[in-house]
Structures are given as C-alpha cells and as structure tokens.
C-alpha cells in the first residue's frame, strides 16, 4: 500500500477564503464523457477504489470534475489535507501523485462541500490544466452548466490564491 500524508485539521476556527469563478468545459476525461477518452468510465471512477483503500472516500462526489476558472487569479496547494504519492491507478499508465483539499462551491442558492482534486503536473502524462483552473469534486449540483458563475471557498491554511 502506498503511504500518504494527511494533515489532521478541524474546520472549527479555520478561515475560508471565497473567490469568484466561472465553470469551464474540461477535457471530459475525468468523467469519461470525451469521445476520445481512453477511460470510458472516466478517471475518477477508476481512481475511486484506490483512494478508498488509502483512506479517502470519493463516493459522495459526482464522478467527474467541475473545472472552475478563477482567472486572472491562480492557486497553489500549500498544505493539502491529503497527498497520495505515486498512485498506480491504471495498469497501462505511470503512477501519479494526487492532492486533495476541502472546498465549497456556491452556485445560486446551493452550497456544496467538495474537494479540490489536484493531479500533480510533474507526474501527470497529459491533459494539463491552465493554472487558473481549479478542478473540484463535488456532489451533483442541479442546473449548473458551462459558463455558470460560482463562488469557490478554500481553506486559507491549505490553499493560496494569488494574482500572477
């Protein structure tokens, strides 16, 4: 079993920072919706059992990502709650390192609690994200669509938001 680092944090007393964002179209690989995806069920569905075995349950979340642009701002995970190094989640690909941090997505009158999903680019074979795109795992959010304006909440102790 691959080892991982988990920071034990309590939400009480933590500071949430909210930034405006807009839902963007992704590659469709995480959800498996892309016609050319080598992963018909999607990468999230394939990765979920591996993360569960490592102690992180992704089953409450829709098996795809919300791609939220916070441009012109960018983000950096400074102390993610979970980091899983070199997860070998697919037999025909190289292991990847992933980090996750709690987040909130507010759309209209709906608030969802989710996770920032961050496949480390230095271990990722392709489908790189713009540095202003935050990939989020969240429960299904009714009526949200590409172009929707949202507010993204992140924990200031785990995520840095900055202007380049």
Residue 109 lies in a domain: yes
Residue 97 lies in a domain: yes
Residue 4 lies in a domain: no
Residue 3 lies in a domain: no
Residue 139 lies in a domain: yes
Residue 8 lies in a domain: no
Give pLDDT tens digits along the chain (164 positions): 333 333 334 456 789 999 999 999 865 566 545 556 666 676 788 899 999 999 999 999 999 899 999 999 999 999 999 999 999 787 777 888 999 999 999 999 999 999 999 999 887 666 567 889 999 999 999 899 999 999 999 999 999 999 98
- What is the C-alpha radius of gyration for the chain, rounded to an integer number of angstroms? 15
Number of domains within the chain: 1
Dihedral through CA 120, CA 62, CA 37, CA 23, nearest 10?
Answer: -70
| Residue ranges making up the domain that contains 145 | 17-162
Residue 148 lies in a domain: yes
Instruction: Check which CATH number belongs to the domain holding 118 and give it.
Output: 2.40.30.30
DSSP sequence for 43-107: HHHHHHHHHHHHT---TTS-SS-EEEE-TT-EEEESS-SEEEEEE--STTS--EEEEEEEEEEEE
Task: Please give the model's pTM, rounded to 2 decimal places.
Answer: 0.86
Residue 9 lies in a domain: no
């Amino acid at each position: 079993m691959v080892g991982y680092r988990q920071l034990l944090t309590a939400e009480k007393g933590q500071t949430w920072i909210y930034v405006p964002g807009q839902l963007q179209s992704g590659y469709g690989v995480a959800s498996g919706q892309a016609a050319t995806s080598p992963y018909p069920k999607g990468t999230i569905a394939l990765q979920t059992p591996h993360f569960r075995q490592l102690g992180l349950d992704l089953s409450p979340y829709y098996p795809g990502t919300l791609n939220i642009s916070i441009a012109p701002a960018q983000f950096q995970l400074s102390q993610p709650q979970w980091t899983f190094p070199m997860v070998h989640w697919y037999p025909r690909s190289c292991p990847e390192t992933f980090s996750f941090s709690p987040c909130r997505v507010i759309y209209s009158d709906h608030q969802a609690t989710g996770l920032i999903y961050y496949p480390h680019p230095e271990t990722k074979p392709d489908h790189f994200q713009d540095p202003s795109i935050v990939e989020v795992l969240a429960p299904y959010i009714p009526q949200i669509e590409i172009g929707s304006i949202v507010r993204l909440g992140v924990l200031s102790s785990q995520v840095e938001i900055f202007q380049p």
